[in-house]
Amino acid sequence: MMKRAVFARELGTPIVMHDYLTGGFTANTALAHYCRDNGLLLHIHRAMHAVIDRQKNHGMHFRVLAKALRMSGGDHIHSGTVVGKLEGERDITLGFVDLLRDDVIEQDRSRGIYFTQDWVSLPGVLPVASGGIHVWHMPALTEIFGDDSVLQFGGGTLGHPWGNAPGAVANRVSLEACVKARNEGRDLARKR
């Protein structure tokens, strides 16, 4: 893992990806320190999380895994979207998104936050919305994630009927239109 990170740095790659659950927290922390010391971004994948966090009887909620990641280190992580194919319960998703990126999180049981948490100087982790999202989800995505997030469109860009470049343009125009509408006080996510 570390040899690959060194190789990525030597190639001039700006970002590396690591799966913190299958790789382990200790390995992730070592990689996070290396990346931070060497100017690399660390994108965190969460493969296998469903085996852990979707088991109601003996599982562990993703909020706990999100906190562990924040302590271990990383720059951004796939967080689910509330919309698209990685749907999750809206308030609960917003709760762990706040745990990932905000400095102080107030108690809010409706979001699964059972006590106020002050992360002091521990860096935040940006949520990455991905998985089946496309331009029609943009009003909801900008409302849910705000400005401090990464919106990752794969098939939502590549599946555009006119090709990849028009798909990318459509995503960007949609994002800018939604942000402009929000800044002007219009709620596109609620309009039908």
pLDDT value at residue 166: 95
Residue 116 inside a domain? The answer is: yes
Residue 150 inside a domain? The answer is: yes
In this model, does residue 29 exceed pLDDT 60?
yes
Contact between 13 and 38 (Cβ < 8 Å): no
Please state, in angstroms and rounded to a whole number, the distance separating the CA atoms of residues 121 and 167: 39
> Span 33-43, mean pLDDT?
97
Q: Which CATH number goes with the domain that contains 108?
A: 3.20.20.110
Both tokens of 94, joined, read 């917003």
Residue 83 inside a domain? The answer is: yes
Question: Which domain does 174 fall in, by range?
Answer: 1-184
Residue 30 inside a domain? The answer is: yes
Across 16-25, 53-62, 154-163, the highest mean pLDDT is recorded for: 16-25
pTM of the shown model: 0.85
Going 62 to 21 to 16 to 163, the CA torsion angle's sign is negative
Residue 166 inside a domain? The answer is: yes
Q: What is the dihedral of CA 82, 95, 145, 138, to 10 degrees?
A: 20
Residue of 99, 88, 91 lying closest to 130 (CA atoms)? 88
Is residue 181 very low, low, confident or very high in pLDDT (cuts 50, 70, 90)? very high
For 99-158, write each residue's pLDDT tens digit: 999 999 999 999 888 999 999 999 999 999 888 888 889 998 998 888 888 999 888 889
Residue 189 inside a domain? The answer is: no
Residue 105 inside a domain? The answer is: yes
Q: What is the DSSP letter of 146?
A: T
Residue 76 inside a domain? The answer is: yes
For residue 167, CA distances in Å to 130, 151, 156, 174, 180 come to: 15, 14, 7, 11, 20
For 42-101, write each residue's pLDDT tens digit: 999 988 777 777 777 877 888 888 899 999 999 999 887 778 666 678 888 888 889 999
**C-alpha triplet 70, 40, 153: angle, nearest 5°:** 75
Please state, in angstroms and rounded to a whole number, the distance separating the CA atoms of residues 35 and 16: 8
The count of residues in the chain is 192
The residues, ordered by sequence, that sit 6+ positions from 22 with a Cβ below 8 Å of its Cβ are 47, 48
Residue of 125, 124, 155, 162 lying closest to 137 (CA atoms)? 155
pLDDT value at residue 192: 54
**How many domains does the chain contain in total?**
1
pLDDT value at residue 5: 97
